Structure formats: C-alpha cells, structure tokens
Copies of this chain bind each other. A is one copy, B any other.
Amino acid sequence: MLYEINEKALKLESEGKKIIRLNLGDPDLATPPEIVEAAYAAMKAGKTKYSSSYGEKKLREKIAELHGVKAENVVITPGSKWGIFATMFLMMKGGGNVIIPTPYWTAYDLIAKTLGAQTKLLRTELENDWKVDLDKLEKLIDKDTKMIILNNPNNPTSKVMDAKTLDGIVEIANKKKITILSDEVYATIAFTKTKSILGYGGDCKHILSNGFSKTFTMTGWRIGYIIANKPFIDNITKLNQITINNVPVFIQEAALKGLEMREKLSSKIKEVYEERAKMASKTLAKAGFAFSKPEAPFYVFPKRDGLDSEKFTLEMLDKGVAVAPGTSFGDYREHFRISLTAPSDDIKVALDKICEAVG
C-alpha cells in the first residue's frame, strides 16, 4: 500500500491540496548546491554519453577506498533499489526462498514476489527491542534458502542492529553457506555506530547495498552501489548492460562530489534528523504511543493498541498528512511509519494532527 499512498498523495497535491508528506524517506532538504554544480559542469563537459555498465572508474575507486575493498568489488546502480533487485534477480534464479526479518522495507517483499521467490519472514517486535531471535533464524533456514536480507539501520524502525546479534547472524549464515545482502543505506548517517557486513572478512562473501539518496539528499538522482565479490559484480554488470545500461555519468560525477564532502554533509544531516527525532519522540510519548527511540534517520514506527493502520493512514491523508501504514512493512497492523522528512514546522503540525486523530 506504500506506493499507492504515494501516488494518491501526489494526485491530491496536483489537485491543489496541501499534503504534509511524511510517507517516504525523501528528505525535505535540498541537494547541496556543490553537487548540483558538479552535475552541471559534467554535462557541459559532454559527459552525456553511454558509459561503462560497471560505473565510472574514479567513483568505484573512491567507494572502494571508503569501504576498504577493491574497485573491482563495486558496481554503480541507478539507486540502491535497483542494486537490490539485481542482486535478488541473480540470487533467486531457479526459485528458492529468502529470509527477511520484519518489519522490513516493502520493496524486498515485492521484489521477491515479482521474481516468484518465496519469502520467509522472521518477526521481530517492539516489545523485544526489535531483536532478531537467532534460534528462530537458524530453524527458518532450509535447503532452499538462498539468502538473508538485513536492513541495518532498519527502515521503518530506525533501529541499529547490535553488534552481537549481527555476529550471530553472520555465524549462522556462514555455517549454512547462505549469502547475506545487507542494505546499509542509512548507516553513514546513523546516530549510533553501525557495524557493516563488510566487517566480516575482506573476501566479500556477503553483499552490501548502499546509496547516495539518504546521505547526500540525492533521492531523485537515482544512484547507489553494490559491493560484492568480483564474479557477482560482473554478473550485475551483465544485467545492467541489458537493462539500465549505465547511470548517467554526470550523476556519477555529482555523487563523487558528494563523497568528497562526505564528513561535512553527513554530520549536518545527522544533526537535523537527530533533533527532529527527539522532537517527534517527545510528542508521540506524551500522546501515549509506544515506539523505540530512533537511532538513525528518518523514521519513527509508533504503535497504538487496537489501531487499524490502513484505515488510519487513509483518514490522515484526508486530513492532509501522508504517513505509511504498518502493514506495508509486514504484519504490523497497530503500527504506522512517520518519515521526519518535512520541515520541522510541518512535522509539528502533522504530529499534532496525528495525536489528535487517535484522541
């Protein structure tokens, strides 16, 4: 229902209605002007041609350097979503199942279903601080399990996985020879240190997905990357060759500029969102919502006993506030997701309307 809500919100806006859009992880902040200028300079320099389906060498090298891998382990993708689709497309060929802890980012499940793959959901709960139960995970793995998808920090909970749990998951995956795809798109801007899947040996046995959208406020630019072993990178590149071909080079130059300004930009983003998270937490706690304190941008995933979140979401849309129902992230009917991606004053108005609506 996540994408339907979005198309509906866009339609209402195009009809002139004011909608405070807290339904997507699309920051209200503008793309930094230095990044825009880098793209423009590249366009004017004629970097508007077909290019390598691996991505530009300079950008791959810079990414490799930041993650402590080789450039041959990096492929540039049009958004991290495409990287995840491509990874799942390649991994799930010939069927099998994928284990996904819930709540999850909607796209994992939709991609799996579109590819005809079976999903095995591993429920985590607010009451248990969203921890993955390692015994349950191990029991869920069967002979047809091809991969485990982690999202760390998590969307929609903004929870960072504790290192011990991650250690345990990797140990099980290694023992059972299952590949982990770790989507770490919020890691650079997390408020707490986040352990990367790349921290478990330099042979890229597991796969990292990352993007520029969140760290550099570049959502609509569509650029991300996959880090994996070389044969897998070669296979994604072959898929790129017959689908998206390449990410526009001027967009890759813009992303490179972002990486060069990484420290400055990410600390600014962290600061803004940590403040918003505090403000939202205060309001929601006061109104009696249950939730875990966000440890990363951009989301809060509050719960209210007895809530029908789909009904609630549609009601809120009528009141000019777009949020996402908990059912978009698994079996979480009593939760809904607020993205803190509007100007603070708008968020305040929206939070008040939300609190008022649940009375």
Contact = CB atoms under 8 A, between A and B. Distances in A.
Interface stretch (A49-57, A180-188, A258-266): A49-57
Nearest to A114: B242
Interface in A81-125: 81-82, 85, 107, 110-111, 114
A113 to B, nearest CB: 9
A248 B220 CA distance: 5
Contacts of A53: 3, 7
Contact of A246 (B47, B220, B251): B220
A248 B31 CA distance: 13
A237 to B, nearest CB: 9
A124 to B, nearest CB: 23
Interface in A230-263: 238-239, 241-251
A219 B250 CA distance: 12
Copies of this chain? 2
Residue in A110, A217, A239, A242 with the greatest tally of chain B CB atoms within 10 Å: A242
A: contact size bracket: 35 or more
A110 to B, nearest CB: 5
Given A81-B243, A243-B82, A220 B48 contact: yes
B48 A243 contact: no
B249 A220 contact: yes
B46 A43 contact: no
A46 B30 contact: yes
A24 interface: yes
A39 to B, nearest CB: 6
Contacts of A47: 220
B81 A78 contact: no
A43 to B, nearest CB: 5
B241 A3 contact: yes
A107 B233 CA distance: 19
A250 B10 CA distance: 17
Contacts of A78: 78, 222, 244
A36 B31 contact: no
A79 interface: yes
Contact of A110 (B7, B24, B54, B242): B242
B48 A221 contact: yes
A324 interface: no
A289 interface: no
A30 B48 CA distance: 8
A102 B111 CA distance: 33
A74 interface: no
A53 B31 CA distance: 20
Contacts of A82: 243-244
A218 interface: yes
19 contacts: A6-B50, A7-B52, A7-B53, A10-B52, A31-B46, A36-B44, A47-B220, A48-B219, A49-B220, A78-B244, A79-B245, A81-B244, A111-B243, A114-B239, A114-B242, A220-B246, A220-B248, A220-B250, A222-B246
Given A3-B238, A26-B50, A48-B221, 17 more contacts: A10-B51, A10-B52, A31-B43, A31-B46, A36-B44, A39-B43, A47-B220, A48-B218, A49-B220, A50-B219, A78-B222, A85-B242, A85-B243, A107-B241, A110-B242, A220-B250, A222-B248
7 nearest A-B pairs in the assembled complex, by CB-CB distance: A49-B220, A31-B48, A26-B50, A48-B220, A85-B243, A40-B40, A110-B242
